[in-house]
Structures are given as structure tokens and as C-alpha cells.
Amino acid sequence: MANYEKALNEFDLFNPVRNLWRNVLIVAIEDAIKMTNLIVKYPDFYGYKRYHSIDYVTLPNADFAKVCEYADLDHNMVRKKTIEILERIKNDKENMSEVFRKWLHKSKEGSPVAGKRRSHSSSMSYV
């Protein structure tokens, strides 16, 4: 009987719909980060416009709030954390993608994870 209850509890934790919407949020935040990196790297070309990918995750809107609701997350908290990340990228002298690359190269050379990229399909499977 205990194994059956454990299986039910694990099934309750796995919510594919919630995970789908969390992945939608991840993609939106990644797009905003990529656009912010481009603005920082090439301000003459990208700096003078407003971009939907950044506005979507930083400005209050009903669509973002609904996606966060489906993802079972507080949209104000997600927006606040995203704004903090984007501000840090703007204020850092070093591009965040470069920081990540340096971190990855500092990992053990023989590690099976070193140099490999995570697939997008598994990015939020256990959240």
C-alpha cells in the first residue's frame, strides 16, 4: 500500500501543463536576455528601439500574468527577478554569455557535462 501512495504523490508532483507554461516563460525570459545582450554589445544599432521581448517580461500585462498563473508562479515575483537579471546584464562590464562560457570552461575537462548544452525539452521537467 505504501508504494501505491508514493506513486500517487509522485504523479501529483508531475504536472505537464504547468511545466509547459514554465517552459514558455523560460523562452520569453531567454529572448529578453538575448535582446539585452545585443543592446549592450551593439548600442548604436539596437539601443534606440523598444523591443517586445523585453517589454513582455518587464511591463505589466494581462498575457504575462495569465502565463504565470498557468505556470503556478506569481507574475510580480517573476517580473521582479527578470528585471533584476536584465539590469545586472546592463550594468555588468562583461557580457553574461561570456561569463557563462568562462564558467563552463572552468568546469572539469573530463566531466561528461562539460561542453554539452542542455536540451530545451528538459529545462523545466522537474520544477
* pLDDT tens per residue, range 61-84: 999 999 999 999 999 999 999 999
Residue 40 is assigned to a structural domain of this protein: yes
Residues with Cβ < 8 Å from 60, sequence gap 6 or more?
Answer: 79
Lowest average pLDDT, out of 6-10, 37-41, 116-120, goes to: 116-120
Residue 4 is assigned to a structural domain of this protein: no
Residue with cell 561528461: 112
- pLDDT, residue 60, reads 94
Helix (DSSP H) and strand (DSSP E) numbers for the chain: 7, 0
Residue 8 is assigned to a structural domain of this protein: no
Domain count, the chain: 1
pTM for this structure?
0.63
Residue 127 is assigned to a structural domain of this protein: no
Expressed as residue numbers, the domain containing 66 is 16-122
